[in-house]
Structures are given as C-alpha cells and as structure tokens.
Amino acid sequence: MTKHAVVIAGGGPTGLMLAGELALSRVDVAIVERRATQELSGSRAGGLHSRTIEVLDQRGIAERFLTQGKVAQIGAFSMNPLDISDFPTRHNYGLALWQHHIERILAAWVEELAVPTYRGRDVTGFTQADTHVDVELSDGRSLRAKYLVGCDGGRSLVRKKAGIDFPGWDPSTSYLIAEADMAEAPSFGMRRDEKGTYGLGKMEDGRVRVVLREERVGQVNEPALHDLREALIALYGRDFGLHNATWISRFTDMTRQAAAYRDRRVLLAGDAAHVHSPVGGQGLNIGVQDAVNLGWKLAQVVNGTSPESLLDTYHAERHPVGARVLRTTMAQTALNRGDERMEAVRETLAELLKMDEPRKRYAGIMSGLDVHYDLGSGHPLLGRRMPDLDLVTENGPRRVFHLLHEARPVLLNLGEPGALDITPWADRVQRVAARYAGVWELPVLGAVAAPTAVLIRPDGHVAWVGDGTDQGLRDAVTTWFGPPTAP
C-alpha cells in the first residue's frame, strides 16, 4: 500500500492549488485525477477576480496568469458593472482567462513542486481510522494517508461517502452551455427579456460560445446538438447554421452547501463543499481561496507543529464565505428573470450601484477583497487581507507579498527594532523589521490607523495587530502556529 501524508481527490483548480500549498510546506501530497491528462473539455469558468490574483501573487506566480489572460474590469452584479480601478490593491481589476488555461498553469506549477498525480483513476471509497485514511482507487490500488481532501466537484463522492449533508435548494432554471461553429454570423452579446437571460459570444478561435436557457428543468439526458438547435430556435427564431459542437454541457441554479467542511480526517474544498449558479463567476475563485485557507493549516497539523483542532478553523472561516456566495448567486439568478416586476427591481438596483458606497460594497463582495475572518475585536486589519505594501527592509525594498512566497507566516515589525521577541517560534515565523511611510488603506473600509506590527498568516490574513508592545502576540502565535519550541 502506497502512503502519502495527504491525498487530494480531484485535480481541478482547487485541488491543484491545495497541492501546491502543501508542497510548499514540504508535505508529502498526491492528487488522484480521473482525467488521463490535464486537458479539459470546454472552456468552463472564464476568469479570476482580484483577490484570487492576489493569493497567486502571494505565491509568486501571478505573472504566469497575467501574461496569458486579459486584464479588465470584469466584476458585475446581475450584469451591472462594478469598477474596482480605485480600490487600494495592486490588482484592481479582474483577469479574463478560461479555466483550461488556469488549470494548465497551475498544473505546471504543481509539477515543478514534484507533486505526484495518479491519473486516469477515481477515488471509489475510503475507510477512516484513528490515525489514517485508506483510500480505494478505481484501478484496484489503495493509498494510505493521514488526511483525504475532497476537491472532486459538486457530485463529490468523498462528501457522499463521508456522510456529510448537502442541504440547499433544488434548481429552478436550467441552461445549456456549448462551444460550436455557426455558418451564419449571429448577434453576439447577452440578452435579457421575457424568456430570461441568455447569449452568444465569439471565442478566441472563432467558435461561438453558447449559453441558452432551457424550457424544462430537471432533464437527466446528456445534451446533444439537436437540443442546442431547438433552444436556439426557441430563443432567436433560427439556428444560425449550428454545427460541429465540440463541447455541450448543462448547468442549473441548484444551490447547496456542505453542512460541515470536515469529518475527522476527511475535508472538503471547492465545489465539493458548495455549488451554485455560475452567475458572477465566483465558484472557481472561492475554491482556490478555500485551498489557500486550508493548505497551511493542514500542513502544520501534518507536520506536528499545531494540534488537530486548528483544522476546525477552516470550517469556521470558510463556511460563512461560501454561504454568502450562495446568497449573492441566488439573488443574481432571481434578478436575471425577465418579467416586468423583476425589471423594476433591476432598474432600482442599477441606480443604487451607480452610487459610490453601494458600488464599493458589492465590488468588495464580488472581488473577494472584503473577506473578513472573525478573529476578535480591535484594529480593522484583524482578520482581513494584509495590503501589499512597498516596504523598506535591511535587505532592501520588499513587497509584503514577496515575504509570503514560501507560504510561511510573517511577523512584520514596523516599530522599534528588536521590540518583539518570538524566539521560541523562530523556526516557524519569519521576523521582518521594516519601515513604511505611506497610507494604510483597505478596500471598502478606506484608510485605517497605521499599526506598529502585524502578524500575517500564510494565507495573507492578519492574525494579530500590535500597539507597540508584545501583549497578546505570544498567544496569537501559539494559536495559529503551535506551541513554542522547548529550549
């Protein structure tokens, strides 16, 4: 039986990001992926929001994506644009980039980190014990791991086998999505009328991306070319010479969230933990962010520096984030209906989102820049993302995100040098003395008081804010990074 510290079921964006996070912490991690290659049928998700670009920047790989995609103001709420160009972030934009490119880049990074992948196989079952999980694969092989993470999508076998409830709402709408050729040039763009919201878009290779509302909800047959043709005729009155569909799929607005993100030695992330309509484009993004929240915590538990109870903070922090995404996507789905009463609501909302305060609030939600973990009261930075400041250190200029490239925590001392002593944690926490003379500003909130020190978690969120003394610092370091090393 082959052994690994962690086995990840699923090699999509969430599973790949988690594998990279664990590998950076020198955890023996392996991926089980049903596809024989990383090739993905269809373009699927279409981009990255600002906070996802930031977490990739925290690992030093953002440029790999930025050079392949198109920077743009892609954020929107129910088709109302949300410009974030005035947000205080180095990445005050979104990135248009299809999922197959995102996966390809992540897979190359994970390969550089020497993570093994069991391709062409499925996880078919597992058995939990006190100290390990035995994982069964479809080729008859068994793997033994300390932990199993289900990143295996909305129909997650890992979630089902773990017996984790998946409450939520059944679908009320159904859509066909496809990529095909058309003999006639259609009218591109999204439409919203009494038939709902639907549209056609031209892809980079000249094919047409089709998103069409279906008349019937709950169909279980695999969609085919004739289904696309019928839907086109129903919505546009013609099929535009549709032919050669290279990918056809179906999605609905089914909305569900796992009741628990962990059952003992089994954890869930990404679509395995939450499914919803793709409207707003948040699904892939919060999956990647799930992985960044979980990775360093799981690594510390596996490496023995933190107690297993640290894993409970994963559910505590990410479940509310997922629940909010479910609410925003349900709201947008309702707003996309084409009746006159809902049109009045949309017009009212559009007027509100032209105002600065509502625009910033909803842009913060959709971009992921306003995520706030409840780590206690005090300074506004506590529990929020650390700004990527331009620092002056004894080793020269450094960006904050540069300090996070190895997924290690940072104690950033901006006050009196040597005032903060965390020697018992020196093997785990980087200590950086620096100067910063600029304004401290957070998205949505605006300017905040300059702290004298901050403790930054590997996921980029602030775990402690100093006030000139080390009161509470040792407690925070112990909570998040384990007890002190014995002298």
Per-residue pLDDT reduced to its tens digit, 14-64: 999 999 999 999 999 999 999 988 876 766 678 999 999 999 999 999 999
Contacts of 426 (CB under 8 A, 6+ apart): none
Quick one: CA dihedral 293, 296, 301, 306, positive or negative? negative
Asked whether residue 104 is domain-assigned, the answer is yes
Whole-number Å distance between alpha carbons of 289 and 56: 10
Question: Are 243 and 265 members of one domain?
Answer: no
Question: Are 8 and 103 members of one domain?
Answer: yes
Report CA dihedral (484, 485, 486, 487) to the nearest 10 degrees.
-110
Per-residue pLDDT reduced to its tens digit, 354-403: 999 999 999 999 999 999 999 988 899 999 999 999 999 998 999 999 99
Number of folded domains that form the chain: 3
- 3-state secondary structure (DSSP) of residue 190: strand
> Are the C-beta atoms of 275 and 255 separated by less than 8 Å?
yes
Task: Count Cβ atoms below 10 Å from residue 167 Cβ, excluding itself.
Answer: 9
Task: Count Cβ atoms below 10 Å from residue 406 Cβ, excluding itself.
Answer: 11
Q: What is the DSSP letter of 260?
A: -
Asked whether residue 398 is domain-assigned, the answer is yes
Asked whether residue 266 is domain-assigned, the answer is yes
CA nearest 429: which of 473, 394, 469, 377?
Answer: 473
For residue 399 the two structure tokens come to: 């960006």
Output the pLDDT for position 42: 66
Domain with residue 309: its CATH number is 3.50.50.60
Domain boundary among 252, 275, 296: 252
Domain boundary among 214, 234, 252: 252
Asked whether residue 375 is domain-assigned, the answer is no
- 3-state secondary structure (DSSP) of residue 468: coil
Question: Are 161 and 194 members of one domain?
Answer: no
Quick one: CA dihedral 351, 354, 356, 361, positive or negative? positive
For the chain, state the CA radius of gyration. 23
Output the pLDDT for position 82: 96
Burial of 120: CB neighbours in 10 Å, binned 0-12, 13-18, 19+: middle
Whole-number Å distance between alpha carbons of 308 and 316: 14
Range of the domain at 232: 174-252
Whole-number Å distance between alpha carbons of 387 and 399: 10
Whole-number Å distance between alpha carbons of 23 and 21: 6
Asked whether residue 372 is domain-assigned, the answer is no
- DSSP 3-state percent helix, strand, coil across the chain (nearest 5): 30, 30, 40
CA 423 to chain centre: 34
Domain boundary among 236, 252, 268: 252
> Are the C-beta atoms of 56 and 141 separated by less than 8 Å?
no
Distances (CA, A) of 92 to 95, 172, 369: 10, 34, 10
The alpha helices in 214-282, defined as continuous H runs, are: 225-236
Question: Are 349 and 421 members of one domain?
Answer: no
Question: Are 123 and 266 members of one domain?
Answer: yes
Asked whether residue 53 is domain-assigned, the answer is yes
Residues composing the chain: 487
Question: Are 139 and 221 members of one domain?
Answer: no
DSSP string, 397-439: EEETGGGGTTS--EEEE-SSTT----GGGTTTSEEEEEE--S-
pTM for the whole structure: 0.95
CA nearest 61: which of 117, 112, 98?
Answer: 112
Question: Are 349 and 316 members of one domain?
Answer: yes
Question: Are 248 and 289 members of one domain?
Answer: no
Per-block mean pLDDT, blocks of 10 residues, the chain (487 long):
96 98 98 89 81 98 97 92 97 95 97 97 96 97 98 97 97 90 85 83 84 82 87 90 88 95 98 94 96 98 97 98 97 86 91 96 97 94 98 94 98 84 92 94 96 96 84 92 84
Asked whether residue 461 is domain-assigned, the answer is yes
> Are the C-beta atoms of 54 and 329 separated by less than 8 Å?
no
Q: Which residues of 33-70 are buried (b: 16+ CB within 10 A; e: fewer)?
A: bbeeebebeebbbbbbbbbbbbbbbbbebbeebbeebe
Whole-number Å distance between alpha carbons of 149 and 132: 13
Question: Are 192 and 339 members of one domain?
Answer: no
Output the pLDDT for position 31: 98
Contacts of 313 (CB under 8 A, 6+ apart): 297
Asked whether residue 98 is domain-assigned, the answer is yes
Domain with residue 451: its CATH number is 3.40.30.120
Question: Are 8 and 104 members of one domain?
Answer: yes
Largest CA distance in the chain: 78
Domain with residue 204: its CATH number is 3.30.70.2450
Question: Are 51 and 162 members of one domain?
Answer: yes
Beta strands across the sheet bearing 174-182: 189-193, 196-202, 208-213, 174-182, 242-252
CA 132 to chain centre: 27
Output the pLDDT for position 136: 98
Q: Is beta strand 196-202 parallel, antiparallel or unpaired with respect to 189-193?
A: antiparallel
CA nearest 190: which of 202, 198, 179, 182?
Answer: 198
Question: Are 106 and 225 members of one domain?
Answer: no
Whole-number Å distance between alpha carbons of 280 and 416: 45
Backbone angles phi, psi at 413, to 5 degrees: -100, 115
